[in-house]
Amino acid sequence: MMDRLHALAEERSLEIHRLVAEELRREPVRLDLVRARVRGWLADGSVHPAYAQRWWQILSRPLEDVIAAMTDPGEDARALRQASPFAGLVDPRTRWKVWRSVRERSAGSR
């Protein structure tokens, strides 16, 4: 049961990051907010330094590289999304739609 819930959470996270990627393509200036958030993490230690430093490295790259990293389905990217600086870039209503959609897809595949 817990493995299924964990997989569901990871799928939701990936789907939300895909939506954030679309938003960033429309408004790349929003990356400034994300970079400021990670600078704060690095300064105040509120997020583990390994995550903060890795995100900082990613965010210093061109937009398409950032998008590729944040939407990578691989294990390293899944771990990195556990401490995502992109929180808040998707409004709550859209986030709930994603949660519902992923849950329904998961229920239909059983």
pLDDT in tens, 11-27: 889 999 999 999 999 99
User: How large is the average pLDDT for residues 58-73?
Assistant: 97
Percent of the chain having pLDDT more than 70?
95
Q: How many CB atoms lie within 10 A of CB 71?
A: 16
Say what the pTM is: 0.85
- For the chain, the domains span 6-108
User: How large is the average pLDDT for residues 63-92?
Assistant: 94
Query: Phi and psi (nearest 5°) for 109?
Result: -90, 0
